[in-house]
């Protein structure tokens, strides 16, 4: 029964979700929304487990003096200060919680995102080295696509047309082919889970 009940829930849930997509009736919508509400409820409870996991791993690293264990103090300090400030001083604009969010967390996050520009440059440098015929085609294509953003006088019109053709014909065809494969793969994976063929996510005792 320990296996049959979860598998039955997955089967009923999976079949219902597939069927409700084709049934626009009100009760179908209401059950769907009810299920989605449950996802939120499960997510909220799971957040507790997540925080406990983070706390336990951080404490364990501090206790065992794992490499760079001092950073775990910062992690725990950040975790508890935000929780306590949120609980006791509120999360309204202007409160300490929101100040920490706007003036510490947001700039740090923006900085991380900004690093992406440099990573793109270094990845492009490696990817565009013309060592093989295919890599050379990739390089030339990339040059044409990048140059479309730069005014090049009389050449601009031609370059725009070539770049537009690359984006709307071969590029679009490849993207759609990948998307179709993803669609089929998604249905196959969903079927494997719903039919109980794939059950590795359920764990073992």
Q: Which of 10, 2, 9, 5 is nearest to 198 (CA)?
A: 10
172 binds other proteins (CB under 8 A): no
Rounded distance, CA 145 to CA 139, Å? 10
Residue 129 C-beta-side C-alpha neighbours within 13 Å: 5
Residue placing its CB nearer to other proteins in the complex, 56 or 99: 56
Contact track, other proteins, 2-41, x by CB under 8 A: ----------------x--xxxxxx-xx---------x--
Task: Tell me how many degrees the CA angle 91-84-87 measures, rounded to the nearest 5.
Answer: 45
Residue placing its CB nearer to other proteins in the complex, 40 or 150: 40
Rounded distance, CA 167 to CA 162, Å? 9
182 binds other proteins (CB under 8 A): yes
> Greatest CA span in the chain, whole angstroms?
75
Give, as ranges, the residues between 54 and 73 that touch other proteins (CB under 8 A).
54, 56-57, 60, 67-68, 71
180 binds other proteins (CB under 8 A): yes
- Near other proteins by CB under 8 A: residue from 77, 108, 146, 155: 108
Contact track, other proteins, 128-167, x by CB under 8 A: ----------------------------------------
Decide: 82 and 100 in contact? Cβ < 8 Å.
Answer: yes
Query: Which residues, in sequence order, are CB contacts of 69 under 8 Å at separation 6+?
Result: 61, 62
Residue placing its CB nearer to other proteins in the complex, 117 or 149: 117
Residue 194 C-beta-side C-alpha neighbours within 13 Å: 15
| Contacting residues toward other proteins, per CB under 8 A | 18, 21-26, 28-29, 39, 42-43, 46-51, 53-54, 56-57, 60, 67-68, 71, 105, 108-109, 112-113, 115-116, 119-120, 122-124, 126-127, 175, 178-182, 184-193, 197-198, 200-205
């Amino acid at each position: 029964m320990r296996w049959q009940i979860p598998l039955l829930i997955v089967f009923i849930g999976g079949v219902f979700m597939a069927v409700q997509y084709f049934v626009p009736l009100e009760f179908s919508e209401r059950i769907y929304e009810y299920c989605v509400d449950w996802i939120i409820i499960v997510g909220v409870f799971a957040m507790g487990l997540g925080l406990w996991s983070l706390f336990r791993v951080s404490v364990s690293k501090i206790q065992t003096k794992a490499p760079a264990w001092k950073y775990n103090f910062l992690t725990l300090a950040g975790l508890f200060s935000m929780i306590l400030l949120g609980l006791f001083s509120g999360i309204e604009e202007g409160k300490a919680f929101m100040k920490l969010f706007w003036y510490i967390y947001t700039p740090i996050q923006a900085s991380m995102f900004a690093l992406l520009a440099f990573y793109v440059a270094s990845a492009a440098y490696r990817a565009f080295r013309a060592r093989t015929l295919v890599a050379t085609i990739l390089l030339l294509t990339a040059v044409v696509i990048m140059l479309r953003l730069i005014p090049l006088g009389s050449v601009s019109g031609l370059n725009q047309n070539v770049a537009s053709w690359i984006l709307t014909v071969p590029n679009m065809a490849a993207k759609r082919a990948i998307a179709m494969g993803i669609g089929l793969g998604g249905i196959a994976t969903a079927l494997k889970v719903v039919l109980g063929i794939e059950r590795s996510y359920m764990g073992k005792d």
